Structure 1
């Protein structure tokens, strides 16, 4: 059994704790971090368009990419330490929701955290990335709250046609 755990800044501890609690001892646990291409791409573009005429050696995009990779590696190492068992660390670059769905192909369970409004229950507790992953995952999904779930009094009201 392979359990894929999507590691993101700010919500990863809840995902690691859920994997630790729900993955069988003999399961292969894969910690996945996705680095977006948007920030290094912006740095490359800004430099080329505004500053870089004839000086490609001064392009800051490469440094931004290296910093992102270093940060991802540190985050995965910290998550692996919290998991407290052997695991595989997987780093990908690209559009997060697409990379997660692709990486989940062949997994028996995908663990991810809510990435939207975490102050109340309801559909807005899922941001666009998590919603895409939940809707397109090729395996069962364990969706966790990054902190204790809000109370039942935070349910959204029913639509007008159901009142």
Structure 2
């Protein structure tokens, strides 16, 4: 079975712990980190538009790309060490949610952590990327809480009943 664990800066330990607990011993595990393409792109654009016409060697976007790649590599190394079993590592750059869904094609399981509001249960516990991934994943998804899950008393109240139509 192919298992993909989406590794992000704030939630990777929970994903790795879930991978250790849930992935079969013979699973083909890949740790996935995605660097958003818009961050280096914004730096490139700001430099070209404001400061750097004619001086590509001073473009900060190139440095941002290198820093992001190094950060992703360090994160994957730490995650692999915590996992403590053989795994592959994949680094992608692009629209995060779409890259995760694409990487999950053909997988038997995708593991990710909630990326939204962690203070209460409910739909806002998933951020935009997590919601997209859960809605579009081409395989089963294991969604974990990074840390202790809030109690059931934090479930948002139900919506009010619909009001009857107003007649004149």
Q: TM-score, normalised by structure 1?
A: 0.97
Instruction: Write the deviation string for residues 54-111 of structure 1: whole angstroms up to 9, x where unpaired.
Output: 1111111111100100000000000000000000000000001000000000000000
Deviation by residue 1:27-51 (Cα, 9 ceiling, x = unmatched): 0110000001111111111111111
**Which 4+ stretches in 1 moved above 2 angstroms?**
none
- 1:1-163 mapped onto 2 (5 Å cutoff): 1-161=1-161
CA distance in 2, matches of 1:39, 1:133: 20
Question: Gaps spanning 5+ residues in structure 2: where?
Answer: 163-168
- How many residues align structurally? 162
Q: Secondary structure at the match of 1:115?
A: coil
Structure 1 unaligned runs (5+)?
Answer: none
Q: Hey, what's the Cα distance between the residues in 1 that align with 2:157 and 2:21?
A: 33
State the TM-score, normalized to the length of structure 2.
Answer: 0.95
What do you get for the CA RMSD once the two structures are aligned? 0.9
- Match of 2:129, SS state, is helix
For residue 18 of structure 1, give the secondary structure of its aligned residue in structure 2: helix
Distance in 1 of aligned mates of 2:47 and 2:136:
36
Question: Which segment is superposed worse, 53-62 or 102-111?
Answer: 53-62
In structure 1, how many angstroms separate the alpha carbons of the residues matched to 2:53 and 2:8? 36
Task: Output the CA distance in 1 between the equivalents of 2:53 and 2:130.
Answer: 40
- State which structure, 1 or 2, has the greater radius of gyration over its C-alpha atoms: 2
